[in-house]
Amino acid sequence: MLDAAAVGEVLIDFTPAGTNEYGYQSFSANPGGAPANVMAALAKWGRKAGFIGKVGKDTFGEFLQQVLEQAGVDTRGLVLSEPCRTTLAFVHLQADGDRSFSFYRSPGADMMLTPEEVREEIVAEAGLLHFGSVSLTDEPSAAATLHAIRLARGLGKLVSFDPNLRPALWKSLDEAKARIREGLELAHIVKLSEEELEFLTGEKNLETGTELLCREFRTPLILVTLGAEGSFFRLGGECRRVPGRPVQAVDTTGAGDCYLAGFLHKFLEAGGALEQLDAAAVQSMAAFANAAGALITLSKGAIPAIPQLTDIEAFLAQHG
């Protein structure tokens, strides 16, 4: 049995790594992809995690399979494709550690996962299934993702969703909004940034924006990441801010993924039942998630920078 599984993308993040002897920009090839990052963190922290997705049968794809397996992720659901190449993303870092992405994906292997390639036994084994919107940008991966999520719902599984909006990957923002709304219809736990909340609702006010989502989609739990400011949550009719602790961020790639993994880790540790949660429990889980999300920013890359549980606990003990 698996505590959690994810369906979606795993790819190579090319992260800036200084300049070479000729003064040209150098890049380090790091494993990434939001759903894979979440599962790698859960596995690193002792959870049984699985992944469903597609990579190229190439050097990068084989590397990603090895990385996931070394992290402890069950890769039975990872398909290695001959015709398509592994998707690549170049990370552009700002001085404050914030980042943007350029994708090489026309098509990338992650887009080509079909519903028939979804290992349904992994969905059946997992207590929770996680997905994002990157796998909803194109067919057939959109159909494969929705097939997996609807199967999970039909089996009574919990579903978590991170919209993870990447405008450059969509044909239009209207299409992105429509697809993300389709995902929201299927999710019990939603994690999004304050920018994504405004994109979906037109509201900058966190209480109002999350109330609109909760009312329309009947989402039991909504988490909003606020960068260095921490996070915010809505559990039914109750809302709270959970303050963060600023760190000297080097690279924010994977911060939201590590935040969500931290939250899910504590949620699963508490039994993984939404109906048993109260606001105090969610606040404690979000505080742990804040710490996990902060610590991953101290190093470059996503999966390689996932902090140890002991480091998260020490950070919480020091900063409260």
**What is the per-residue pLDDT across 197-218, written as a single tens digit (0 to 9) for each?**
999 999 999 999 999 999 999 9
Question: Is 100's pLDDT higher than 90?
Answer: no
Q: What phi and psi values does residue 31 have, to the nearest 5 degrees? A: -70, 140
Residues pairing with 51 in the sheet: 6
Question: Is 301's pLDDT higher than 90?
Answer: no
Question: Is 2's pLDDT higher than 80?
Answer: yes
- 130 in the Ramachandran plot: left (φ > 0), alpha (ψ -120 to 50) or beta? beta
More confident residue, 152 or 300: 152
pLDDT of residue 98: 59
Q: Is 174 helix (H, G, I), strand (E, B) or coil?
A: helix
What pLDDT band is residue 320 in, cutting at 50, 70 and 90? Answer: low
For the purposes of burial, counting CB atoms within 10 Å of the CB of 140, is it exposed (0-12), middle (13-18) or buried (19 or more)? middle
Residue 107 DSSP symbol: T
What pLDDT band is residue 95 in, cutting at 50, 70 and 90? Answer: low
- Single out the residue of 220, 224, 238 nearest to residue 290, CA to CA: 224
Sign of CA dihedral 178, 93, 106, 186: negative
Domains of the chain, residue spans:
2-6+34-51+115-315
Question: Is 97's pLDDT higher than 80?
Answer: no
Residues contacting 20, CB < 8 A, separation 6+: 26
Evaluate whether 274 touches 220 at the Cβ level (below 8 Å).
Answer: yes
Separation CA 122–CA 124 (nearest Å):
5
- Single out the residue of 268, 197, 181 nearest to residue 231, CA to CA: 197
Evaluate whether 30 touches 67 at the Cβ level (below 8 Å).
Answer: no
User: 24-28, 60-64, 236-240 — which is least confidently predicted?
Assistant: 24-28
Homologous superfamily in CATH for domain 2-6+34-51+115-315: Ribokinase (3.40.1190.20)
User: 3-12, 16-25, 227-236 — which is least confidently predicted?
Assistant: 16-25
What is the pTM (predicted TM-score) of this model? 0.95
